[in-house]
Amino acid sequence: MRSPLVLLTVLAAAATACGSSGGGDGGDPQGEAGSFEGRGPITYVQGKDVTGTVQEQIDRWNADHPGEEVTLIELSENADEQRQQMIQNAETQSDAYTVLSLDVVWTSEFAAHQWIEPLPAEEFPLDEMLPPTVETAMYRDSLYAVPQTSDGGLLYYRSDLLEAAGIAEPPTTWAEMEEACDAVLALPEAAGMSCYTGQHEKYEGLTVNFAEAVNSAGGVITDENGTPDVDTPEARAGLDFLVGAFEDGTIPRDAITYKEEEGRRAFQGGDLVFMRQWPYMYGMANATDGSSEVAGNFDVAPLPGLDGPGASSLGGHNLALSSFAENKATALDFMKFFSNEENARTNLEVTSSAPCYAALYDDPALAEQYPYLPELKESILNAVPRPRVVEYGRVTAAIQDAAYAALTGEKSSERALSDLQQTLLEYTAG
Ligand code: GLC
């Protein structure tokens, strides 16, 4: 039998005060870091390394740690599929996966089921990291993962085309963005282009894009107590932006199948004026090896919203230690190495992925390479976490179903949101 889902509030403190984990299978985690024993080979498991740089970092570790080598296991590009593969590994209590790269939204679920180990917080420089990134790694006041990369949504735009159309500043509202498109798409050099895309396929990226649209119109998915509150005019205005954009062609039809990578290829191929995307695309779209047609011709700005700047969802990945793994002493050392500031700096320099260390956002050399770092830091500090729930898989599936039904015209926004509210309320009942 399934235990009732308990929605925890977005505040770590409130989450701590919450009476029941609702985790079910795994019992109640103690939250105290145990001893980490055993040295030897381990694995590191993450989604597909689209930047192609992870193996190099692991090679540096391996060169210094004979007998304690790390083998990289790459899973799917799709966040939901990564989650399923990791859960399958945990449910069979397999020792195949040692260190897991967990999406920030999975911490509660993995911790409550005791699929990951509580970690010794004092052994990681958490006070040097942006506070919201550390909060994503906590469950009931204990540390269950180490922040490795953060993520905040940005509006990428074709600065060359905006300039050609006489538009001096990037848009701060959805209406301004659509007006800018009208002007840009009338230019001969923009023939065949589309206005905008985000991530709209039915997977975690759609949850993110739905949440951002709702938050950017003043709505919420759950209120400050963790209670669903998505059947509101504000949430409808947010969803209607996406629905209307699909209807009138602002978002091209094909984008209903876009995850991060399909959209990145379209933007890099010069097909889009605007795109909602994570920081990792900045480096790839600026590559001058011929892989990008837009290198040097785009810039980034905060996400637009209904009446002014929008709000990003808080993304990112944390390193967690599988409870069923061997060689946990090696794993702990590797997690310290892999999440350290030097590696975060290299990651930023080489892949433009958002670091968790606050100091890197204020570093002059890095700010020269990535002039948007101050805005990204603000975006992460003000980002809205997705619901912090033990059964995150059910909640995100309900959100994806509702958003997808509205985007494909199967349901009106109104109906999709009232159904979603009911489903989320059912999950919180009891
Ligand atoms: C990025 C984010 C992650 C999010 C995912 C959605 O990887 O870091 O938090 O869930 O995109 O596709």
Question: pLDDT per position in the chain (430 positions), as tens?
Answer: 333 444 443 333 333 333 333 333 445 677 888 889 999 999 999 999 998 999 999 999 999 999 999 999 999 999 999 999 999 999 999 999 999 999 999 999 999 999 999 999 999 999 999 999 999 999 999 999 999 999 999 999 999 999 999 999 999 999 999 999 999 999 999 999 999 999 999 999 999 999 999 999 999 999 999 999 999 999 999 999 999 999 999 999 999 999 999 999 999 999 999 999 999 999 999 999 999 999 999 999 999 999 999 999 999 999 999 999 999 999 999 999 999 999 999 999 999 999 999 999 999 999 999 999 999 999 999 999 999 999 999 999 999 999 999 999 999 999 999 999 999 999 876 5
Cα 103 to ligand 1 centroid, rounded to whole Å: 7
Q: Are strands 272-277 and 154-157 parallel, antiparallel or unpaired?
A: antiparallel
Atom of ligand 1 nearest to the CA of 103: 9
Neighbours of 213 (CB within 10 A): 28
| Protein residue with its CA nearest to atom 12 in ligand 1 | 205
Q: Is 315 in the pocket of ligand 1 (CB under 6 A)?
A: yes
Atom of ligand 1 nearest to the CA of 313: 9
| Protein residue with its CA nearest to atom 2 in ligand 1 | 315
Q: Name the residue with tokens 């911490």.
A: 107
Amino acid at the residue 178: E
* Closest listed residue to residue 209, CA positions, set 375, 378, 353, 406: 406
| Protein residue with its CA nearest to atom 8 in ligand 1 | 316
Per-residue three-class SS string for 50-96 = CCCCHHHHHHHHHHHCCCCCEEEEECCCCHHHHHHHHHHHHHCCCCC
Q: What is the pLDDT of residue 138?
A: 97
- Domains of the chain and any CATH numbers: 42-152+315-381 (3.40.190.10), 154-313+390-428 (3.40.190.10)
Cα 371 to ligand 1 centroid, rounded to whole Å: 23
Ligand 1 pocket: which of 108, 207, 208 to mutate (most atoms within 8 A of CB): 208
| Protein residue with its CA nearest to atom 4 in ligand 1 | 315
Q: Is 278 in the pocket of ligand 1 (CB under 6 A)?
A: yes
Q: Is 157 in the pocket of ligand 1 (CB under 6 A)?
A: no
Q: Tell me if residue 21 falls in helix, strand or coil.
A: coil
* Closest listed residue to residue 388, CA positions, set 144, 77, 44, 101: 144
Give 303's DSSP letter.
Answer: P
Angstrom CA distances, 401 to 117, 220, 248, 396, 412, stand at 32, 17, 22, 9, 13
Interatomic CA distance for residues 87 and 109, integer angstroms: 10
Q: What is the pLDDT of residue 27?
A: 53
Cα 222 to ligand 1 centroid, rounded to whole Å: 19
Distance of CA 84 to the CA centre of its chain: 17
For residues 262 and 45, the answer to whether their CB atoms sit within 8 Å is no
Q: Is 103 in the pocket of ligand 1 (CB under 6 A)?
A: yes
Cα 150 to ligand 1 centroid, rounded to whole Å: 9
Angstrom CA distances, 318 to 30, 133, 308, stand at 20, 9, 31
Cα 79 to ligand 1 centroid, rounded to whole Å: 7
Burial class (CB in 10 A: 0-12, 13-18, 19+), 365: exposed
Q: Is 79 in the pocket of ligand 1 (CB under 6 A)?
A: yes
Q: Tell me if residue 277 falls in helix, strand or coil.
A: strand
CA dihedral sign, ordered 81, 86, 90, 96: positive
Residue 378, H or E segment: helix 373-381
Residues sharing a CB contact under 8 Å with residue 133, sequence separation 6 or more, in sequence order: 104, 147, 150, 316, 356, 380
Q: Is 165 in the pocket of ligand 1 (CB under 6 A)?
A: no
For residues 47 and 101, the answer to whether their CB atoms sit within 8 Å is yes
For residues 100 and 89, the answer to whether their CB atoms sit within 8 Å is no
* Closest listed residue to residue 276, CA positions, set 218, 168, 200: 200
Q: Is 208 in the pocket of ligand 1 (CB under 6 A)?
A: yes
Q: Name the residue with tokens 């729930």.
A: 389
Cα 93 to ligand 1 centroid, rounded to whole Å: 26
Atom of ligand 1 nearest to the CA of 314: 9
Q: What is the pLDDT of residue 28?
A: 60
| Protein residue with its CA nearest to atom 7 in ligand 1 | 316
Ligand 1 pocket: which of 49, 78, 105, 151 to mutate (most atoms within 8 A of CB): 151
What angle is formed at CA 130 by the lines to CA 129 and CA 131, rounded to 5 degrees? 105
Give 372's DSSP letter.
Answer: T
